[in-house]
């Protein structure tokens, strides 16, 4: 073999070797090129896994309110728009009812809310009864107070607003209103300006011979006023109301 032929063969072998090396490196380059796709898939999977608890939370929240997941999603959607400004604290059922698209939808949510409110009131009244029983057992010589004045929950009761002092007419008037306190016409007495002074109200109640037995049976209740007099009485003192079925306050003459 001549020297020229030898070098030619050597050159060809060298080229073939380089091609082989490059071919072996290509999968590595391809793998490097595909790395972002693999990472993207991993991130997407992780994101999906992170979203699973949120979906579970949606399901649980919807069930608590007697709604479907679709209804709950619509409620969340509604909250992103005008309702977030008009009524941000509106409950889910009322929100869906107010934004109902048909009369059938509106009736459905009205019934759902009525049932939910009935359950709520039953629970609160049950606790209130338990509270009175506990107060009677633990403090038999003290007049009990309501945990919270649930004015909107009981129709037919008389709501009477008075003061402990600086009201001569209040001193004269209280005996008249107490004459109405019986099983058919219970009276809820709200003390305006008492500033949370339970002892002062107890002294006032004893002075006016308010029967503790009637207080324990809730024919009479003693309450600190939390703004109802200011909103409804137009400055009149003392004053009595009954709340009608439509929620309107009716001024009483007695």
- pLDDT by residue for the chain (254 residues), tens digit each? 544 545 544 555 555 554 554 455 454 444 444 444 445 445 444 544 544 447 788 888 888 999 999 999 999 999 998 888 888 888 999 999 999 999 999 999 999 988 888 887 778 667 767 776 776 688 776 555 544 444 444 556 888 999 988 888 898 888 888 887 776 788 899 999 877 788 888 888 888 888 888 888 888 889 888 888 988 888 899 999 987 766 677 888 76
Kindly state the DSSP code that residue 121 receives in the 8-state scheme.
Answer: H
Give the distance from CA 75 to its chain's centroid.
Answer: 14
pLDDT score recorded for residue 245: 66
pLDDT tens across 61-87, in order? 888 999 999 999 999 999 998 888 888
Give the other-Cβ count within 10 Å of 162's Cβ.
25
Q: What angle do CA 245, 174, 166 make, to 5 degrees?
A: 110
State the pLDDT at residue 21. Answer: 46
Predicted pLDDT of residue 102? 94
Instruction: Give the N- to C-terminal CA distance of the chain in Å, as an integer.
Output: 136
- At residue 149, the pLDDT reads 45
pLDDT at 51: 46
pTM higher than the cut 0.75? no
So what's the pLDDT on residue 191?
Answer: 92
The Cα 92–Cα 106 span in angstroms is 13
- Greatest Cα pair distance in the chain: 140
Task: Find where tokens 């703004």 sit.
Answer: 227
| Delimiting residues of CATH 3.40.30.10 domain(s) in the chain | 151-251
151-251 falls under which CATH superfamily? Glutaredoxin (3.40.30.10)
What per-residue confidence (pLDDT) applies to 35? 45
CA–CA separation, 194 and 165 (whole Å):
10
Cα 2 to Cα 6, 7, 11, 21, 94, distances in angstroms: 6, 9, 14, 29, 100
H helical segments located in 65-91: 69-78, 83-86
pLDDT at residue 44 in the model: 46
Please name the helix (run of DSSP H) or strand (run of DSSP E) that holds residue 205, with its range, or none. helix 198-207
Please tell me the predicted confidence (pLDDT) of residue 88: 81
């Amino acid at each position: 073999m001549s020297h020229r032929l030898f070098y030619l063969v050597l050159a060809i072998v060298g080229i073939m070797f380089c091609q082989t090396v490059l071919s072996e490196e290509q999968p590595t380059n391809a793998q490097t090129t595909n790395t972002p796709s693999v990472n993207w898939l991993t991130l997407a999977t992780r994101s999906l896994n992170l979203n699973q608890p949120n979906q579970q939370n949606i399901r649980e929240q919807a069930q608590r309110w007697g709604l479907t997941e679709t209804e709950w999603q619509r409620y969340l959607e509604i909250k992103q728009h005008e309702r977030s400004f008009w009524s941000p604290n509106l409950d889910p059922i009322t929100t869906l009812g107010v934004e109902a698209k048909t009369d059938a939808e509106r009736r459905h949510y009205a019934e759902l809310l009525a049932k939910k409110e009935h359950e709520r009131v039953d629970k609160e009244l049950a606790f209130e009864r338990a509270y009175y029983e506990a107060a009677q057992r633990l403090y038999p010589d003290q007049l009990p107070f309501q945990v919270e004045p649930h004015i909107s929950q009981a129709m037919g009761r008389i709501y009477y607003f008075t003061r402990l002092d600086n009201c001569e007419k209040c001193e004269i008037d209280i005996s008249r209103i107490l004459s109405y306190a019986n099983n058919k016409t219970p009276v809820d007495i709200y003390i305006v300006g008492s500033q949370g002074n339970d002892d002062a109200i107890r002294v006032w109640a004893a002075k006016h011979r308010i029967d503790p037995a009637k207080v324990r049976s809730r024919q009479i209740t003693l309450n600190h006023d939390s703004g109802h007099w200011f909103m409804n009485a137009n400055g009149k003192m003392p004053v009595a109301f009954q709340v009608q079925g439509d929620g309107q306050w009716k001024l009483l003459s007695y």
